[in-house]
Every structure is written in C-alpha cells, then in structure tokens.
Amino acid sequence: MGIHSEAQLNRKFMEFIKLLNIYLNHFPKHEKYALAKRIRNTAYELYDYITEAQKKYFKKTTLTLLDITHEKLRMQIYLAYELGYFKFKNGKAESNVSAGHRIQAITNLIDELGKMIGGWIKKIKEQNNW
C-alpha cells in the first residue's frame, strides 16, 4: 500500500469514526457503557491495527488482525441494528428517526474500509510477503 492509499484509508476511517460516534451517542442510555462502548473500542482497535500495519515491515499478522477486527466491528454494528438501537435519538426511541438511513450510511463506510483493507491484503499477497 502506497502513501497515497494509506492517506485514503486514514481519511476514510476518520469519516467513519466521526459518523459512528454521532450514532453511538444516541444509543439508549443503558447501552452507552455496554455495546456502544464495545463498538467504539473495536473501532479504535481497528485504527490501531491500520497504524501498526502501515509501520511494520512484515505485515501478515497485523493485516490478519486488522481483517478480523473489521469483521468484528461489522457484526457488532449489525447486532446494534437488530436490537433497534439506531432508532434512538438522545437516548430515547423515536418513531421519526430513520434507522434504515443510519445503518445504510455506516455500513457503506464499513464496506469501503473493508474493500481498502482487502486490497491491501491482496497487494501484500501478490508481493509474496504473505
């Protein structure tokens, strides 16, 4: 992954984390220190692995952990959606909040991050550094 691609990945993650934090702040109060915190921590762990992989010479283990953490994040967000937490605004369920719009926006960013991570892994495999 070149410097340009790394910068794109960093920018995409920043876009994702800003939106994610807005949505997590609206989760029900009883979940702010449970699933919301877990999702936030997994997202920060994902960024840690991005940074680590950018700096390491041998990237196989870190990229594998990055890929696994990305999938954990995807599943945690799906769980929150299934539990109805994207329908909340300021900690209270509201009928006028579009959970579908929120989940679509956040999953689009997760998918874009996944594509970038997958491309990075593919490139490293092609260079026989895997």
Structure tokens of 98? 């579009």
Is the Cβ–Cβ distance between 111 and 71 less than 8 Å? Answer: no
> What global pTM score does this model have?
0.89
Any residues with CB less than 8 A from the CB of 89 and at least 6 apart, and which? 26, 97
Tens digits of pLDDT across the chain (130 residues): 555 578 899 999 999 999 999 999 999 988 888 999 999 999 999 999 999 999 988 899 999 999 999 999 999 999 999 999 999 988 888 877 788 899 999 999 999 999 999 999 999 998 875 6
Give the chain's length. Answer: 130
